[in-house]
Amino acid sequence: AEFAKELGSVICMIDLVIGYTAIQSMAIWARKADMILHLHRAGNSTYSRQKIHGMNFRVICKWMRMAGVDHIHAGTVVGKLEGDPLMIKGFYNTLLQTHLEVNLPQGIFFEQDWAA
């Protein structure tokens, strides 16, 4: 990350698999270094695709927002990631909007106020 800054980069990418503590540490570093922190979702399918004991990617989106990540590769409507266009729209809304209303087709089951 320091090397990227030295090269003049304005954004630094990390992978989800580095772990939640490291992600939050990188978010703190990015604030101090005035850099944007992008999260690549490598490895998320090991637990987000497990229907019985896994978790939805929306939960990861919320955690990463609280941890201080600026940008997440939240998926496309084609390819190996989740492919339902309305669900992807819900992921993006979860990441971008400061307030969410209930929207069942997008997977938003209750009103949420992020305050930032």
Q: What pLDDT digit, counting tens, does each position of 57-112 carry?
A: 778 888 888 899 988 876 655 555 556 788 878 888 887 888 889 999 888 888 98
Structural domains of the chain, count: 1
CATH number at residue 107: 3.20.20.110
Tokens of 69: 């990540």
Q: 28 with 20: CB under 8 angstroms?
A: no
What pLDDT, in 10s, does the model give residues 26-69? Answer: 999 999 999 999 998 877 767 666 677 777 777 888 888 889 99
pTM over 0.85: no
User: In whole angstroms, what is the distance from residue 43 CA to residue 70 CA?
Assistant: 19
Domain that holds residue 83: 2-113
SS3 46: helix
Higher confidence at residue 15 or residue 76? 15
- The residue whose two tokens read 């009103």 is 111
